[in-house]
Amino acid sequence: MLKPNMHYAELRDSYLFARIGAKIKDYQKEHPEARLYRLGIGDVTRPLCPAVIAALHEAVDDQGSFDRFHGYMPECGAPFLREAIASHYAARGVALSADEVFVSGGASDELGDITDLFAHPCRALMTDPTYPAYMDASVMAGREVTRLPAGEENGFLPLPDESAEADLIYLCSPNNPTGAVYDRERLKIWVDYANRRGAVILFDAAYEAFIEDSTLPHSIFEIEGARSCAIEICSLSKTAGFTGTRLGYTVIPRELVRDGMCLRDMWVRNRTTKTNGISYILQKGGAAVFTEEGQRQIFDNIRVYRENARVLTETFDRLGAWYIGGKNAPYVWVKCPAGMDSWSFFDLLLREIGVIGTPGEGFGASGEGYFRFSTFGSPEDTREAASRLERLLKQYY
Amino acid sequence: MLKPNMHYAELRDSYLFARIGAKIKDYQKEHPEARLYRLGIGDVTRPLCPAVIAALHEAVDDQGSFDRFHGYMPECGAPFLREAIASHYAARGVALSADEVFVSGGASDELGDITDLFAHPCRALMTDPTYPAYMDASVMAGREVTRLPAGEENGFLPLPDESAEADLIYLCSPNNPTGAVYDRERLKIWVDYANRRGAVILFDAAYEAFIEDSTLPHSIFEIEGARSCAIEICSLSKTAGFTGTRLGYTVIPRELVRDGMCLRDMWVRNRTTKTNGISYILQKGGAAVFTEEGQRQIFDNIRVYRENARVLTETFDRLGAWYIGGKNAPYVWVKCPAGMDSWSFFDLLLREIGVIGTPGEGFGASGEGYFRFSTFGSPEDTREAASRLERLLKQYY
């Protein structure tokens, strides 16, 4: 008799966004005419930039041509894209070999797959609040999970607790959901801690393109010592609007060795066994992001989202609300007014002003009492939502 | 200290196609002028059909438009594609609900991911010879592997051995590497065996589009009882030339329940945690395969590969060589002449006539003494290779 993976039975039943979806559906049934302002889920709204569209069309034409048709791609990524990504890091002062760069179908997919490199019974450490998929993937693998509480006292940027036993450390900076960003000094403390323990940091850099402050690190490999303790997982989803197009990349340095096994070499073996590479078409589109023209165009989009963030943070400044994020990050993490819990705040905003955000409690117990606003909506909706928030909330803060 | 997954250390060092690649490289260094005829790796050579190309271009334009832009796709697949696939099965007499169909990034990727549904210490059964990735993925998960020898005595279509303990059964029909195809009666024996034991069959149907004999099953779900014991993994790679474009699909029926856990529901949870869906662009291209026009066009390509198969099988008929496949399958599996082992035969063909195939030994011990020819090459190369084979081999058979 085949035994299923019974760890799936330990997963919490309901998923944050499913619960939000159900609440919205109920509300729309009662108020079919209501206009909603969605600052909830972190999906982008602006189309792919022209340089990417042109490269995708060209690649599609290649796939329709006898002479230029591409069959199986190299499993770890097309050399043209691995090299473009390595050059992108080099321009930022991080030296990588192109064969330490792996092309992926996106950061979520990679976060799901990559933990196959680690023995199952290991201790995973993640912050609280955190992106729910880290937790669920760890539960599915039967890992023991420790949550490190984040809060106002540490600016939602917790540092390692020397008493906590951790083998696998999830860090996300700029953070989802809080928008908090580790500076070099604090990230160095994590790197040193991981090296001392022989732990491995899975560094989720999906939001790095939103960093404006030049003193903040975009990559963990800007920190000395990271090459022997970190894997960086990145994505074009937020950088270049690829949420529905799909493409990401992962960096595993050769110095990352545990028990004599080189994790980069293990990942090559994993990819050559468990994939047949990433779509040629998508890789050509992705390579266009790293051209001069592509970089200029993606930042035209990012600037729109940054302007949304400015509209929201200025609103919360005027309200006198406590918040972080919105600077160097596409999320604004706001303290709910008047001691309100985050689901009550969700209900209030939905019912009174048709604004949708994400309750902090959905990201972990330490998120209770906080609320996430995404800046990926349209400028018009964001401005309207901000003015509605200001009108409603001035009585609360 | 993070422990790596030490099962990776149990993997065999060299990979079949890497060894072949090294041999070819050496040969080309010695004979830089030599023209080679590649009937080795199973990659397609014909471009995507016009209906798919048009759909891909249209989807790229959508991704460049504010009004038609698609962000995150549903994790289990776009409804338009899940429904198109369910209708494709319905036309063949297999009733499926669209939500039993999952869109994937390709069959290899799915074969790698899906075994997360099963407890790690389970017993995997696969035929010998077999597609190497089944074996390697099982070793990576620390599974105990039993090989079921296939040979001329059973037409390379082994039936279950009642004494073998198996939880997870890999079947591939039409088979890679042998091209042998299970008929309904023999597949029913496997389904009954799996149901009796509570085992689960992973049915790899990647080559089903090559079946011409209308009495042979394209899907395991044409067999009574399969809905309670089988997962079918399929791909557009060989059906529609998507090896470098990437798209596949998987069917998990609701009746597949073990220890009270519905594997279809577990897979929904896996996909929603560990992926953010498959590219909108690729799904639109994939949907075009299932239109009337798309079906007509993909079979124009498949007919070319079938004609290659005919050229090869007629050559082996004239030589009096023992072979299977090439009918209802894109591989021809030939017995090496004069008791030659399969790597010696590889060397002979490379050195004497510049023809590249795949040594049967690379697929398992029972493949020793046999050789795989792929029919995915160009018609010109296949005809030239066949006439060279005939001239060389008539002295051997």
SS3 track for chain B: CCCECHHHHHCCCCCHHHHHHHHHHHHHHHCCCCCCEECCCCCCCCCCCHHHHHHHHHHHHHHCCCCCCCCCCCCCCCHHHHHHHHHHHHHCCCCCCHHHEEEECCHHHHHHHHHHHECCCCEEEEEECCCHHHHHHHHHCCCEEEEEECCHHHCCCCCCCCCCCCCEEEEECCCCCCCCCCCHHHHHHHHHHHHHHCCEEEEECCCHHHCCCCCCCCCHHHCCCHHHCEEEEEECHHHHCCCCCCCEEEECCCCCEECCEEHHHHHHHHHHHHCCCCCHHHHHHHHHHCCHHHHHHHHHHHHHHHHHHHHHHHHHHHHCCCEEECCCCCEEEEECHHHCCHHHHHHHHHHHHCEECEEHHHHCHHHCCEEEEECCCCHHHHHHHHHHHHHHHCCCC
Q: Are A259 and B199 a contacting pair at CB < 8 A?
A: no
Please count the residues of chain B. Answer: 397
Order the strands of the B230-235 sheet from edge to edge. B101-104, B248-251, B230-235, B200-204, B168-172, B123-128, B144-149
CB contact (8 A) between residue B4 and residue A47? no
Looking at residue A42, its pLDDT comes to 85
B247 to chain A: closest CA residue: A279
Q: What is the mean pLDDT of chain B?
A: 96
**Residues of chain B with C-beta less than 8 angstroms from the C-beta of A120:** 5, 120
Residue B298 forms contact with A (CB below 8 Å): no
State residue B42's pLDDT score. 85
Spatial strand order in the sheet of A101-104: A101-104, A248-251, A230-235, A200-204, A168-172, A123-128, A144-149
Asked whether the predicted pLDDT for residue A246 surpasses 80, the reply is yes
CA–CA distance, B384 with B154 (Å, rounded to integer): 32
Which residues 308-347 of B are in CB contact (within 8 Å) with A? none
From the candidates B15, B16, B60, which should be mutated to test the interface with A, based on the most A CB atoms within 10 A?
Answer: B60
Are B245 and A281 in contact (CB < 8 Å)? yes
Residue B13, pLDDT above cutoff 70 = no
**Tens digits of residue pLDDT in A73-82:** 999 999 999 9
Q: Does A138 reach chain B within 8 Å, measured CB to CB?
A: no
pLDDT at B163: 84
A148 sits in which H/E element: strand A144-149
Chain A residues close to B281, C-beta within 8 Å: 56, 245, 281-282
Residue of B nearest to A1 (CA): B198
Contacts of B1 in chain A (CB under 8 A): 167, 197-199, 258-259
Q: What are phi and psi of A330, to 5 degrees?
A: -90, 5
**Would you say A206 and A234 are in contact if contact means Cβ atoms under 8 Å apart?**
yes
pLDDT tens figures, A150-206: 999 999 999 998 888 899 999 999 999 999 999 999 999 999 999 999 999 999 999
Looking at chain B, which residue has its C-alpha nearest residue A272? Answer: B133
Residues of each domain in chain A carrying CATH 3.90.1150.10: 15-44+294-393
> Quick check: B259 and A4 CB within 8 A?
yes
Taking only the tens place, the pLDDT of each residue in A84-97 is 999 999 999 999 99
Q: Which residue spans of chain B are classified as CATH 3.40.640.10?
A: 50-290
A263/A100 Cα distance (integer angstroms): 10
pLDDT at B312 over 90: yes
Residue A154 structure tokens: 């540490």
Residue A53 contacts B, CB cutoff 8 Å: yes
pLDDT at B14 over 80: no
pTM of the model: 0.97
pLDDT at B318: 98
Look at residue A209 in the predicted model and tell me its pLDDT: 98
CB contact under 8 A, A118 and B4: yes
Which of the pair, A19 or A351, is modelled with greater confidence? A351
Q: Which CATH class is domain A50-290?
A: alpha beta
Quick one: pLDDT at residue A162?
A: 84
Average of per-residue pLDDT across A300-329: 98
Q: So what's the pLDDT on residue B366?
A: 97
Q: Is the interface score ipTM higher than 0.90?
A: yes
Does residue A241 surpass a pLDDT of 70? yes
- A113 neighbourhood in chain B, CB within 8 Å: 112-113, 274
Alpha-carbon torsion, ordered B99, B101, B105, B111, to 10 deg: 120
Q: Please report residues of A whose CB lies closer than 8 A to that of B60.
A: 53, 56-57, 60
Burial class (CB in 10 A: 0-12, 13-18, 19+), A179: buried
Average pLDDT over residues A371-386: 97
From the CB of residue B296, how many other CB atoms can be counted at a distance below 10 Å? 11
B8 touches chain A (CB under 8 A): yes
pLDDT of residue A13: 66
Contacts with A, B 368-387, CB within 8 Å: none
Rounded mean pLDDT, A332-357: 97
Chain A residue closest in CA terms to B136: A273
Partners of A262 in the beta sheet?
A257
- What is the predicted pLDDT for the residue at A41? 80
Residues of chain B with CATH 3.90.1150.10: 14-43+294-393
A112 touches chain B (CB under 8 A): yes
Q: What's residue A14's pLDDT?
A: 61
Rounded average pLDDT over B83-110: 97
| Interface membership of B61 toward A (CB under 8 Å) | yes
Q: Considering only CA atoms, which of B275, B283, B231, B251 is closest in space to residue B81?
A: B283
CB contact under 8 A, B120 and A120: yes
Asked if B41 lies within 8 A of A72 by C-beta distance, the reply is: yes
Residues of chain B with pLDDT > 70, as a percent, come to: 99
Say if A291 is an interface residue toward chain B (CB within 8 Å): no
Q: Which CATH superfamily is domain B14-43+294-393 in?
A: Aspartate Aminotransferase, domain 1 (3.90.1150.10)
Query: In the structure, what pLDDT confidence band is assigned to residue A235 with cuts at 50, 70 and 90?
Result: very high
- What topology is assigned to A15-44+294-393 in CATH? Aspartate Aminotransferase, domain 1 (3.90.1150)
- pLDDT, average across residues A293-310: 98
Average the pLDDT over A337-364 and give the result: 97
pLDDT band at A66 (very low <50, low <70, confident <90, very high): very high
Residues of chain A contacting residue B70, judged by C-beta atoms under 8 Å apart? 244
In sequence order, what are the residues at sequence separation of 6 or more whose Cβ sits closer than 8 angstroms to the Cβ of residue B379? B304, B307, B308, B311
Quote the minimal CA–CA distance from B123 to chain A in Å: 8
Instruction: Dump pLDDT digits (tens) for A121-150.
Output: 899 999 999 999 999 999 999 999 999 999
